[in-house]
């Protein structure tokens, strides 16, 4: 690649690659559809309110800022403390894995590149594990 070609190359953020807010909304909708239907996710579904409207909005807004898009979660809800917010729930290995399974299935249903799907699942595994560790008293 020449210097001129490098100068003309446009970098896109993960937020843009995921389709912006519309794409993230579709991902989150599919994520919660998986949570509603997968037997492995019943325990974590029961940790959520019956009406998932707020949960959907919070996850969509979190992902927006986390993927270098607008910081919507902070604008609407204030600072983010993922492990602290989830500390009141009994989250162990099974719950962490169920959450990641729902996300894996939701990602599989999106028109994202395999590279983006793998990046997102790998990246989301980090806070999922951190939540488990905090709830287990490992931090």
Domain coordinates in residue numbering, the chain: 18-135
Is residue 121 within 8 A of residue 77, CB to CB? The reply is no
Task: Please report how the helices 93-108 and 114-135 are oriented relative to each other, as an axis angle in degrees rounded to 10.
Answer: 160
pLDDT per residue as tens digits for the range 109-122: 999 999 999 999 99
pLDDT of the residue at 2: 57
Q: Average per-residue pLDDT in the chain? A: 94
d(CA 51, CA 67): 26
The predicted model scores a pTM of: 0.90
Q: Which CATH architecture has domain 18-135?
A: Orthogonal Bundle (1.10)
d(CA 58, CA 115): 25
Is residue 108 within 8 A of residue 117, CB to CB? The reply is yes
pLDDT per residue as tens digits for the range 76-114: 999 999 888 999 999 999 999 999 999 999 999 999 999
């Amino acid at each position: 690649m020449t210097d001129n070609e490098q100068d003309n190359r446009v970098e896109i953020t993960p937020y843009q690659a995921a389709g912006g807010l519309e794409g993230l909304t579709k991902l989150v909708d599919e994520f919660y559809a998986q949570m509603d239907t997968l037997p492995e996710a019943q325990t974590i579904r029961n940790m959520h309110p019956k009406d998932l409207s707020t949960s959907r909005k919070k996850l969509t807004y979190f992902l927006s800022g986390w993927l270098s898009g607008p910081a919507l979660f902070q604008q609407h809800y204030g600072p983010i403390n993922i492990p602290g917010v989830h500390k009141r729930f009994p989250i162990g290995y099974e719950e962490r894995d169920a959450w990641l399974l729902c996300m894996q299935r939701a990602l599989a249903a999106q028109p994202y590149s395999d590279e983006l799907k793998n990046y997102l699942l790998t990246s989301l595994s980090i806070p999922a594990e951190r939540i488990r560790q905090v709830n287990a008293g490992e931090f």
